[in-house]
Amino acid sequence: MTESNRQKKIAGVLQNDLAKVLQELLRSSGQLNTILTVSKVTVTADLSIAKAYVSVFPPQKANDLIKELKELTPKIKHEVAQLTKHQLRKMPDLIFYNDDTMEYIENIEKAVKKGENPIDNPDLLDKRKKS
């Protein structure tokens, strides 16, 4: 099912505002050597839930940071709602996911450089986890 124009517009607004809020949250918590990117936001058809895919560098910190974001979701939702109050009537609930796409691509490149073919031998790569 494709997204409507309204869903795409809301997702874009949320992506920009979430990025601002999360960057400020990182700075204020003193995690200056961590890079966080909101790579994608999708919004459900009824506009009640927004799924935010967050990419973290270094990847070793990703799981802990996503867990922390899930704990801080009410605070983050409130701050984003303040930024979007003139554009949205109701702020969607936020769900955070780890976007490990870059790490996955890096693993594929390493396997190919070693002369191994991940297509012929899928065991070379870790299975991607849905969380």
Question: What is the model's pLDDT at position 128?
Answer: 55
pLDDT of 129 > 90? The answer is no
Measuring CA to CA, which residue among 92, 87, 37 is closest to residue 66? 37
| CA pair distance 68, 105, nearest whole angstrom | 25
Tell me the three state secondary structure of residue 121.
Answer: coil
Domain 5-99 fold is: GMP Synthetase; Chain A, domain 3 (3.30.300)
Domain ranges for the chain: 5-99, 101-131
pLDDT of 76 > 90? The answer is yes
Q: pLDDT band for position 103 (50/70/90)?
A: confident
Question: What is the model's pLDDT at position 112?
Answer: 73
pLDDT of 1 > 80? The answer is no
Q: The whole model's pTM is what? A: 0.78
pLDDT by residue (tens digit) across 4-32? 899 999 999 999 999 999 999 988 888 77
What mean pLDDT, rounded, does the chain reach? 86
pLDDT of 2 > 90? The answer is no
Higher pLDDT, 65 or 123: 65
Q: pLDDT band for position 45 (50/70/90)?
A: very high
β-pair type (49-57, 35-43): antiparallel
Tell me the three state secondary structure of residue 9.
Answer: helix
Cβ atoms of 29 and 39 closer than 8 Å? no
